Amino acid sequence: MKCCIEAVCVFAKTMLVFLRTLFSISRKTPRCVSVRILTNSASLSHICMSNSISCGVPDHYSSHYVLPCLVVSVTSYLCLFRQNYVTEVKCDEGLEEGVIFRIVREGRWDDDRIVRLFESGLGSVSVERVYVELKREPGLALKLFKWAERRNGFSHSTESFCILIHILFCSLMYVDAHDLMKELASSNRVVPASDIFDILWSSRNVCTPGFGVFDMLFSVLVELGMFEEATDCFSKMKRFRVLPKARSCNSLLHRLTKSGRENDSRNFFKEMFGAGIAPSVFTYNIMIDYLCKEGDLKSANILLSNMKKLGITPDTFTYNSLIDGHGKIGQLDDSVCLCEEMKEYGVYPDVVTYNILINCFCKYDKLPQAFKFLQEMKENGLEPNVVTYSTFIDAFCKEAMMQEAIKFFIDMRRLGLTPNEYTYTSLVDANFKAGNVGEAVKLVKEMLEAGFSMNIVTYTALLDGFCEEGRMEEAEEVLKSMPEAEVTPNLTIYTALIHGYIKAQRIGDAVNIWQEMKDKNIVPDQMLCGTIVWGLCKEERLEEATLILGEMKECNIQANDVIYTTLIDGYFKAGKTKEALILLEQMQELGIDPTIVTYCVLIDGLCKSGSVDMAIDHFGKMQEMGMIPNVVVYTALIDGLCKAKRVESAKMLFDVMGCKGMLPDKVAYTSLIDGYMKDGNIEEALNFRDLMLEVGMQPDLYTYTTLISGLLKAGHVQQARDLLDEMIMKGITPDEVVYGCLVRKYCDLGDMDEAQKLQTEMVRSNLISGTSHFSVPCVKT
């Protein structure tokens, strides 16, 4: 009869487990948990009959459990009349405490009594009772637990875990308790990790309550990165006044900030205060450091003030975070003031403090002040480390001060400091930019021989250097080697490669890389889009370039004035004035204002297409917008007016330039010379040639070609021939066009000897082959 009653009670408890799970769905408050905690087998019947459930919660929560408790009570009652469902479960009266000890201690795992215990339909329930009976022998209980875990078809319940965790924790076996808690939390066995607290709370009386076990649960959840579960656990702990330690809270706060969860970090920081957990300097340091890195210096300074009011003394880490935060956004004076303040508080700057100050001042090109901090650092007995030297080397490299960079590089090695990846990468990048490709490659080899691996920054410097030098095959080899080093090419790498291909006039390869990026779902930035548009326009692949605008829109990338100006210029150069003007309208409709460069392209394009009046209109519009036309704009308009045979208007603009203090360039002079020559005003054309010489501007090939061609048309053959001799004397080599004009004129005049002489000079200058017949291509001027 005794065994039957025990069996009924065991079944009742199992039903409680089911009901507890049923009623715990979507609930965040501790739920009723069946009491499987038995001190000995003799007390089993009494506990099951007299107190079938124990909610384990304070009285003020009891109203939430009325319905579950009522159902469970009824279920337990009905079990008394349904014994036939559990008749197969028998209690082994021989399995007493001493027997269990002997079996487990001796490792007799094939003993029929313990085997039956685990093979019964309610094995897990019986095992929990055994663990409680073994609580005075925690080592044996753990040994049994480990053995049971390895049995096929058997799985410990969450209650078993919690009971054993309590036993181990109360027995000061913290490492084993921690490992078991971690296994339970990460396994999501019977209940979610966020609900472990409920069962741990309900089973707390298995031993003398040790509330530190709840702090362990909280810490384990944080350790596993289960931040939502940890936050939920904190709320329950706060409700039951078993608060975690400040150190554990700091751990969660630190992990939240490192994962970039700003709102969660701020909210948890407030909850800590609300719960009455006294923050430490470490708590404040975590938040101040995070706020500084996020650029919220106002909040960071408020926290500094608050911690002082609470009597918490800021330490070196506190001030270092604030100094770095202010320094990185250029507030260098504030950084220096904070450094002085920390000294007044008796907190002395360390190597990290000085490195931060040196880095910030170097970043903003204030090397003299950075050197003062280096000197102060040494005077205070602090030795510069590899970070100090690397920071200065990087600053020197960015300023193209290679000798100083090399000197610091040698000094640090002489002092026994080993350069790191950052040091080598700065030097590699600087050497490439200085054109010292051999030295850059040598440094990379030295870096690898020193045992350092190339990171993404080093790969970028190396690949970009090869691309800038036009050594695309080597750049391709660098790209191929990256997957082997488990370094994934990023946007900067692809940008450098595409730019290199465009410079090398391999637009097809650039487009292939662009497609590869899209296939890998790497979203381009505005700069890269501008680069590929520029490359396509250079090759007159205008339709493809225009399609990039659509791709940018899909990626939510706003085209800028540079991209539109590049496209407009491409269409003008292709003679597609209408399409260029449509792009200008589209640009303005998007709210992108044309720049001075846009107007240069626009006016030049319109003038070259013969639309001079429209160019003049835009010349007026740009001034209405407050833009001051530059030399390029005036020159483009002067050239357009001259080609439109409106030389006097061009001359007026030329005079306006002088009045505004602008120095016309060779193109402006040459355009007017050409205009006057074609207008038949040889004297005025030669006057502009003389004016060029007076201002110290030497005619170039195009100017001489214009003068010679104009003089020949006017019949001034000897004067044209004299100009040919003059340009040769000044080191300007005539081209086939210049010689062609003269040869044809001499042929027209019948002076074959002079024509032959000029042809010989052409052969000598490799402009024509020696076997060529006496014929010159028609030259239009």
Which candidate, 182, 155, 179, places its Cα nearest to that of 168? 179
**pLDDT 10s digits, 544-559:** 999 999 999 998 999 9
Cα distance between residue 689 and residue 763, in whole Å: 30
Q: Residue 664 has which token pair?
A: 């016309």
pLDDT of residue 153: 67
636 or 140, which is more confident:
636
278 or 22, which is more confident:
278
Q: Which residues pair with 54 in a beta bridge?
A: 33
Q: Residue 750 has which token pair?
A: 């019948």
The burial class, CB within 10 Å (0-12 / 13-18 / 19+), for 367 is middle
Cα distance between residue 688 and residue 682, in whole Å: 10
Give the range among 13-17, 312-316, 703-707 with minimum mean pLDDT. Answer: 13-17
Cα distance between residue 670 and residue 325, in whole Å: 56
Greatest pairwise CA separation for the chain in angstroms:
143
**pLDDT 10s digits, 359-404:** 999 999 999 999 999 999 999 999 999 999 999 999 999 998 999 9
Q: What's the whole-number mean pLDDT along residues 303-307?
A: 94
Three-state DSSP state, 164: helix
List, in order, residues 6 or more apart from 456 with CB less than 8 Å away. 487, 488, 490, 492, 493
Confidence bin at 530 (pLDDT 50/70/90)? very high
Q: What's the whole-number mean pLDDT along residues 168-188?
A: 89
The 10 Å Cβ neighbour count of residue 149 is 12
Q: Residue 165 has which token pair?
A: 């965790």
Q: Which residue has the tokens 């370039």?
A: 545
Give the range among 47-56, 446-455, 489-498, 533-542 with minimum mean pLDDT. Answer: 47-56
The 10 Å Cβ neighbour count of residue 453 is 11
Three-class DSSP labels, 397-457:
HHCCCHHHHHHHHHHHHHCCCCCCHHHHHHHHHHHHHCCCHHHHHHHHHHHHHCCCCCCHH
Confidence bin at 286 (pLDDT 50/70/90)? very high
pLDDT of residue 528: 93
Confidence bin at 41 (pLDDT 50/70/90)? very low
pLDDT of residue 30: 37
The burial class, CB within 10 Å (0-12 / 13-18 / 19+), for 196 is buried
Most confident of the ranges 96-100, 122-126, 279-283: 279-283
Confidence bin at 70 (pLDDT 50/70/90)? very low
What residue type is assigned to position 708 of the chain? I
Cβ atoms of 283 and 253 within 8 Å: the answer is yes
Return the ∠ at Cα 232 (arms to 215 and 234), rounded to 5°.
35
- What is the overall mean pLDDT for the chain? 83
Q: Residue 691 has which token pair?
A: 């004016």
**pLDDT 10s digits, 695-728:** 999 999 999 999 999 999 989 999 999 999 898 8
**pLDDT 10s digits, 648-666:** 999 999 999 989 989 999 9
Q: What's the whole-number mean pLDDT along residues 472-485?
A: 92
Confidence bin at 17 (pLDDT 50/70/90)? very low
Q: Residue 90 has which token pair?
A: 């028998």
Confidence bin at 96 (pLDDT 50/70/90)? low
Q: What's the whole-number mean pLDDT along residues 430-440?
A: 91
Cβ atoms of 666 and 700 within 8 Å: the answer is yes
Q: What's the whole-number mean pLDDT along residues 25-39?
A: 36
pLDDT of residue 95: 52
pLDDT of residue 666: 92
What residue type is assigned to position 700 of the chain? D
Confidence bin at 356 (pLDDT 50/70/90)? very high
**pLDDT 10s digits, 557-599:** 999 999 999 999 999 999 999 999 999 999 999 999 999 999 9
pLDDT of residue 130: 76
61 or 308, which is more confident:
308
Cβ atoms of 704 and 741 within 8 Å: the answer is no
Cα distance between residue 218 and residue 651, in whole Å: 85
Cα distance between residue 230 and residue 320, in whole Å: 30
Give the range among 16-25, 43-52, 532-541 with minimum mean pLDDT. Answer: 43-52
Return the ∠ at Cα 317 (arms to 312 and 321), rounded to 5°.
110
Cα distance between residue 265 and residue 262, in whole Å: 5
Which candidate, 14, 6, 7, 8, places its Cα nearest to that of 190? 14
Cβ atoms of 652 and 642 within 8 Å: the answer is no
Q: What's the whole-number mean pLDDT along residues 190-218?
A: 83
Confidence bin at 435 (pLDDT 50/70/90)? confident
Backbone region of residue 605 per phi and psi (left: phi > 0; alpha: psi in -120 to 50; beta: other values): alpha
What residue type is assigned to position 659 of the chain? C
Please tell me the number of Cα atoms within 13 Å of 504 on its side-chain side: 19
Q: Residue 25 has which token pair?
A: 């769905």
pLDDT of residue 119: 63
Give, as one character, the DSSP assignment of residue 8: H
The 10 Å Cβ neighbour count of residue 375 is 9
pLDDT of residue 376: 94
Which candidate, 245, 243, 252, places its Cα nearest to that of 222? 252
Cα distance between residue 199 and residue 122, in whole Å: 19
Percent of the chain with pLDDT over 70: 83
Cβ atoms of 456 and 450 within 8 Å: the answer is no
The burial class, CB within 10 Å (0-12 / 13-18 / 19+), for 94 is exposed
Q: Is the pLDDT of residue 18 over 50?
A: no
Q: What's the whole-number mean pLDDT along residues 453-472?
A: 92
Distance from chain centroid for Cα 385: 27
Return the ∠ at Cα 106 (arms to 104 and 109), rounded to 5°.
60
pLDDT of residue 637: 94
Q: Residue 517 has which token pair?
A: 């990026």
Rounded to two decimals, the pTM is 0.67
Q: Which residues pair with 33 in a beta bridge?
A: 54
Percent of the chain with pLDDT over 90: 59
Distance from chain centroid for Cα 178: 36
Torsion angles phi and psi, residue 33, rounded to 5 = -125, 135
List, in order, residues 6 or more apart from 10 with CB less than 8 Å away. 48, 86, 89, 122, 125, 126
pLDDT of residue 719: 92
Q: Is the pLDDT of residue 295 over 80?
A: yes
Listing DSSP states for 600-641 in one string gives HHHHHHHHHTT-HHHHHHHHHHHHHTTPPP-HHHHHHHHHHH
**pLDDT 10s digits, 726-779:** 988 998 988 888 888 898 988 988 889 888 888 888 887 776 654 444 454 443
